[in-house]
Amino acid sequence: MANLVTEIADTASAHPDTTALHYDGQEISYQEFWGQVGQFAAGLQAAGIEPGDRVGIYLPNLPQFVVAFHGTLRAGGIVVPINPQYKTREISHLLGDSRAKVVVTIGDLVPFVSEVQDGTDVEEIVAIGGHDDATAFREFLAAGAPDIVDRDDDDVAVQPYTSGTTGQPKGVLLTHENLHSNAEMAASLVPDGVRTDDKALGVLPLFHIYGMTVVMNATLFSGGAYYPLPSWDAQQAMELLAAEDLTIMHGVPAMYNDVINQPNAEEFDFSSVRLCGVGGSGIPVEVLRRFEELYPTKIYEGYGLTETSPVTHFNSPEKGRRVGSIGKTLPGVDSRVVDADFEEIAPVEEGPVDEDEVDLDEITGELVISGANVMQGYYGLPDANEDAFTHADGKRWFHTGDIGYHDEDGFYYVVDREKHMIVSGGYNIYPREVEELLFEHPDIAEAAVVGIPDERRGETVKAFVVETPDADLTADEVREYCLERLAEYKHPREVAFVDELPRTTTGKVQKFELREADE
């Protein structure tokens, strides 16, 4: 029972004729899907893959990703999901580090793998054809369907990589138990659970933990249908949502912001949608508010990390949500806010606090997590593992690197990532607070704030602003707007107008690029 994929086998036998995947107008039933999973597993075995071997999946969101993912698990292998935007340098690091033996990819990406194949353990590159080739795996699928290979709870199932914003990407060892506990949890967070008539929009990249587990596993484990789209395009996604009466959407904040900033935003039809999930980074309060004003659906915010498989906190509108909070700790997960000596920091009476009114240093600390969802460790990185965990009170606590606080009602608030903090003239400034304010400006579509070197203050605050289409703001106006509403030391002394913000595939602003652009 430990093998995660058993869940899919159970769904397939309970609902053989229900749609599992829907892509480009084609429907794939659970029976067909499970059949392909078997053939893929047989193909892997014929290629010499043994239990515990790693298989790289270097694909955009296509049905074949989902088949290869579950086929690898069925054969007892470890899935190494790879960002399809990666090119030779990144691929070289990932394949070298993970020691994947097989890589499944799409025609256009084959050269990036073959160029670096020498010197890696890759024995076979499986090319699946093109984007329009929704079902083919060409010759790789083998006849027969092997039994699900037994795995222990603590055997590794998936090895995603961190995005590497803090150095080289690290392989995160997630076990069958880690993912199982979290996928079940994710399904239970949906009001009434995920149902067989649920249809989930698949715009989150599948190589990333959020798309992989919350959308794919939580949907497919429960017999819902998954509608992947290979890349994010707000118009295309909204058309699919309305045309197919989709019921669940999960996205990163940048996607929701993109939706509300479309010229025809008021025409989008969300009437079939019963849940909009968001995570990956904090959603600006103003974006949430405007989205909920436009559409008859609520946003459910979750918080988590790749290392925690991923969800640890959830802010459910059904359970007295507090906007601006990441919500409460999930059952089965423990979280604490601790100082540098690992002493717990007491909760405030009620959040969210006005960050201008309180001394944040007194109420905030690092968020640490313990539970069955916490990774086994980073692959082959003993020093990083040493830094990542603290053992206390009989538990193993994972350091998130996020600064936050909590309140007496059990709500948690992420102020920002520790590494984003700006120290200016001795003051600590968290960019997110300034960004939240900028998002409230009617002429600002998007904003990101970073610290840039400053001779006198050490660092100073700089805002990068994307204006709404007809706006004509000046830097002085933006500075004035902030000065009127924030402590003087927090206001952006420098303002740059840009057409767009550099983002990762998962919609996070690449702040290091903004700092480099400044230099």
Bridge-based pairing state of the strands 299-304 and 275-278: parallel
- In DSSP notation, 171-219 reads BEEEEHHHHHHHHHHHHHHSTT---TT-EEEE-S-TTSHIIIIIIIIHH
In angstroms, what is the minimal distance from the CB of 165 to ligand ATP?
A: 4
Residue nearer to ligand ATP on the CB measure, 301 or 436: 301
Bridge-based pairing state of the strands 311-315 and 328-329: antiparallel
In angstroms, what is the minimal distance from the CB of 392 to ligand ATP?
A: 20
Characterise 208 by phi-psi region: left (phi > 0), alpha (psi -120 to 50), beta (else): beta
In angstroms, what is the minimal distance from the CB of 297 to ligand ATP?
A: 18
Residue nearer to ligand ATP on the CB measure, 77 or 282: 282
8 Å CB contact between 123 and 75: no
Rounded-to-integer distance, Cα 43 and Cα 63, Å: 17
Binders of ligand ATP among residues 307 to 336 (CB under 6 A) are 326
Rounded-to-integer distance, Cα 224 and Cα 262, Å: 29
In angstroms, what is the minimal distance from the CB of 170 to ligand ATP?
A: 7
Residue nearer to ligand ATP on the CB measure, 270 or 314: 314
Q: Binder to ligand ATP among 33, 303, 379, 413 (CB under 6 A)?
A: 303
- Kindly state whether residue 301 participates in binding ligand ATP, applying the rule CB under 6 A: yes
In angstroms, what is the minimal distance from the CB of 244 to ligand ATP?
A: 27
- Kindly state whether residue 213 participates in binding ligand ATP, applying the rule CB under 6 A: no
- Kindly state whether residue 165 participates in binding ligand ATP, applying the rule CB under 6 A: yes
Q: Binder to ligand ATP among 61, 72, 83, 162 (CB under 6 A)?
A: 162
Residue 342's Cα: distance from chain center in Å? 27
- Kindly state whether residue 279 participates in binding ligand ATP, applying the rule CB under 6 A: yes
- Of the listed pieces 101-109, 157-165, 334-342, 449-457, which binds ligand ATP according to CB under 6 A? 157-165
Rounded-to-integer distance, Cα 239 and Cα 390, Å: 47
End-to-end CA, the chain: 54
Nearest to 68 by CA among 114, 13, 126, 116: 126
Neighbours of 473 (CB within 10 A): 16
Question: What b/e readout covers 480-508, taking b as 16+ CB neighbours within 10 angstroms?
Answer: ebbeeebeebbbbbbbebeeebbbbbbbb
Nearest to 349 by CA among 399, 305, 407: 407
- Kindly state whether residue 417 participates in binding ligand ATP, applying the rule CB under 6 A: yes
The arrangement of strands across the sheet holding 199-202 comes to: 26-29, 19-23, 225-228, 199-202, 248-251, 275-278, 299-304, 311-315, 328-329
Angle between helices 30-46 and 63-74 (to 10 degrees): 60
Size of the site for ligand ATP (CB under 6 A): 22
Residue nearer to ligand ATP on the CB measure, 8 or 174: 174
Question: Which residues make Cβ contacts (< 8 Å) with residue 420, sequence separation at least 6?
Answer: 430, 431, 432, 450, 511
Residue nearer to ligand ATP on the CB measure, 37 or 367: 367
- Of the listed pieces 64-72, 115-123, 158-166, 468-476, which binds ligand ATP according to CB under 6 A? 158-166
- Of the listed pieces 17-25, 64-72, 108-116, 162-170, which binds ligand ATP according to CB under 6 A? 162-170
- Of the listed pieces 59-67, 195-203, 223-231, 279-287, which binds ligand ATP according to CB under 6 A? 279-287
Q: Binder to ligand ATP among 31, 114, 135, 163 (CB under 6 A)?
A: 163
- Kindly state whether residue 400 participates in binding ligand ATP, applying the rule CB under 6 A: yes
- Kindly state whether residue 508 participates in binding ligand ATP, applying the rule CB under 6 A: yes
Which residues are registered as beta bridge partners of 497?
Answer: 465
- Kindly state whether residue 281 participates in binding ligand ATP, applying the rule CB under 6 A: yes
- Kindly state whether residue 282 participates in binding ligand ATP, applying the rule CB under 6 A: yes
Phi, psi torsion values for 48, nearest 5 degrees: 90, 10
Residue nearer to ligand ATP on the CB measure, 8 or 438: 438
Residue nearer to ligand ATP on the CB measure, 76 or 284: 284
Q: How far from 234 is each of 99, 230, 267, 311, 321, CA to CA, in Å?
A: 37, 12, 13, 25, 27
8 Å CB contact between 395 and 334: yes
- Kindly state whether residue 272 participates in binding ligand ATP, applying the rule CB under 6 A: no
Q: Mark residues 114-153: x for contact with ligand ATP by CB under 6 A, - for none.
A: ----------------------------------------
Q: Binder to ligand ATP among 414, 437, 444, 509 (CB under 6 A)?
A: 414
Interacting residues with ligand ATP (CB under 6 A): 162-166, 279-282, 301, 303-306, 326, 400-402, 414, 417, 506, 508
